[in-house]
């Protein structure tokens, strides 16, 4: 092989290799900010499965998703609120356990179909709380799979509708989409090129 061609092939290989590596890279939100609160329910038995699904309570995300979330949190902080995190990256095997319990694509992404945007490190389940840690009512508990969780259900008090509006408008401004059936779920819009992952959460032994 002549030298320019060899150089071209090497560069092509290196750029493809770095693309594959960067596709898999997730960052830990705690390394980027101390301004969030956390209640990672799947790291406890207090969730809709009733079992601990994660070995540790960490929030991992694609770097650009974490950056957008930091900006959203800043927006909420300026209004007297902060984001409380329920879930971030979720390994595909955990998605399969969820699907086995609730095989309804309106509430759990089908791991045998497109999967969940959580499996790409590009979705989060969140709520708001006040900066001094007070509860903000959203009309249902997290992972309540029923019409009280639907975002097109307006049969709530003015206070709840105002809280939801604040959450949805803030998140949409920073590149997140809502889904109709879960007020707590937000998918980063530009996730189409991200890979579905099954790497376990990085927990110290």
Ligand X SMILES: C[C@@H](N)C(=O)N[C@H](C)C(=O)O
The listed partner (Zn ion, ligand X, none) that binds 58, CB under 5 to 8 Å by sort, is none
The listed partner (ligand X, Zn ion, none) that binds 29, CB under 5 to 8 Å by sort, is none
Q: CB–CB of 183/151 below 8 Å?
A: yes
Annotated binding-site positions for Zn(2+)? 118, 125, 185
Does position 143 bind ligand X by CB under 6 A?
Answer: yes
The listed partner (Zn ion, ligand X, none) that binds 98, CB under 5 to 8 Å by sort, is ligand X
CB nearer to Zn ion: pick between 21 and 171: 171
Site for Zn ion, residues 120 to 159, rule: CB under 5 A: 125
Does position 109 bind ligand X by CB under 6 A?
Answer: yes
Site for ligand X, residues 171 to 190, rule: CB under 6 A: 182, 185
Place of tokens 């707590």: 184
Instruction: Please state, in angstroms and rounded to a whole number, the distance separating the CA atoms of residues 83 and 186.
Output: 12
CB nearer to ligand X: pick between 74 and 102: 102
64 is catalytic: no
Q: Which residue of 120, 125, 183, 186 would you call a contact of ligand X, by CB under 6 A?
A: 125
Does position 118 bind ligand X by CB under 6 A?
Answer: yes
CA distances from 58 to 102, 119, 196, 201 (A): 24, 14, 18, 7
Closest CA to 49 of 90, 6, 10, 19: 90
Does position 98 bind ligand X by CB under 6 A?
Answer: yes
Q: CB–CB of 147/106 below 8 Å?
A: no
Closest CA to 194 of 102, 127, 114: 114
Rg (CA), the chain: 19
Taken in order 40, 44, 48, 49, is the CA torsion positive or negative?
A: positive
User: Where do contacts with ligand X occur on this chain (CB under 6 A)?
Assistant: 87, 98, 107-109, 116-118, 123, 125, 143, 182, 185
């Amino acid at each position: 092989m002549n030298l320019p061609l060899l150089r071209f092939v090497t560069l092509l290989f290196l750029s493809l290799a770095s693309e594959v590596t960067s596709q898999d890279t997730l960052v830990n939100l705690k390394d980027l900010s101390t301004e969030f609160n956390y209640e990672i329910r799947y790291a406890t038995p207090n969730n809709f499965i009733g079992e601990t699904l994660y070995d540790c309570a960490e929030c991992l995300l694609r770097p650009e998703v974490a950056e957008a979330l930091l900006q959203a949190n800043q927006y909420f902080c300026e209004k007297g609120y902060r984001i409380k995190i329920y879930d971030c990256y979720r390994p595909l095997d955990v998605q399969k356990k969820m699907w086995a319990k609730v095989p309804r694509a309106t509430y759990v992404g089908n791991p045998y179909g497109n999967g969940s945007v959580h499996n790409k490190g590009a979705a989060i389940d969140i709520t708001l709380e006040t900066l001094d840690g007070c509860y903000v009512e959203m009309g249902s508990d997290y992972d309540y799979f029923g019409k009280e969780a639907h975002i097109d259900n307006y049969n709530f008090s003015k206070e709840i509708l105002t809280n939801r509006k604040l959450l949805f408008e803030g998140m949409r401004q920073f590149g997140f989409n809502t889904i109709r059936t879960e007020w707590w779920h937000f998918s980063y819009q530009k996730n189409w090129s991200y890979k579905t992952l099954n790497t376990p959460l990085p927990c110290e032994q």
